[in-house]
Chain A
Amino acid sequence: MRASGNRRAGGFTLVEVLAVLAIVALAAAIVLPHLPGGAELRVDAAAGRLAERLSEARERAILGGRPLRVAIEAGTSGVHVEAIEVGGMVRRAGGVELGADGDALPVRVTLAGDGGARAVVLLPAGLGRARVVREDGA
Chain B
Amino acid sequence: MKNRLSQLRGHLPRKWREQRSLRLAAGAVTLVLPIVVVASTSASAGVNLVVNPGVEQTGPGNFPLCWGKYGYGNNTYSMGVTTRAHTGSKALQVTISKLTSGARVAQMLENTSCSPWVTPGHQYDLGVWYLSSTPDAVISLYRHDVKKGWQFWMDLNTLPVSGTYRYASVRTPVVPPNTDQISWGVTVYGKGTVITDDYSTVDATVKASGAACTAGAACTKGVWQVLPFPSPVRAIHAVLMYTGNVLLVAGSGNDPTDFAAGTFESAVYNPNKGTFQVIPTPDDFFCAGHVQLPDGKVLVLGGNLAYPDAADKENYEGLNTSYIFNPITNRYQRVNNLNGGHWYPSATELANGDVIAYGGLTATGTGSVTTEYFKYEPGTTTDGEWLPLSQINESFDGFGLYPDMILMQNGELFYTGSHVFGENETPFGTTGTKRGQGGAGILNINNILDPGAADPMITVTGLQDTPGGPPGTDETDQSMAILLPPAQSQKVMLMGGGNILYTNHPATRLTDLIDLATANPHYVPGPLIPRGTLSNGKLEGVNEGKMYVSMVILPNGQVFETGGGLIDREDPVYEAAMYNPATNKFSTAMATDPVPRTYHSSAFLLPDGRVMAIGNNPGNGSFDMRISIYSPPYLFHGPRPQVSNLSSQYWTYGSEQHITVNQQITSAELIRPAAVTHSSDPNQRYVALPMSVSGNRIGLSVTTNPDLAPPGWYMLFVTNANGVPSVAKWVHLNNVAANQ
A and B associate in one complex = no
Residues on A facing B (Cβ under 8 Å): none
Q: Measuring CB to CB, which residues of chain B are less than 8 angstroms from any residue of chain A? A: none
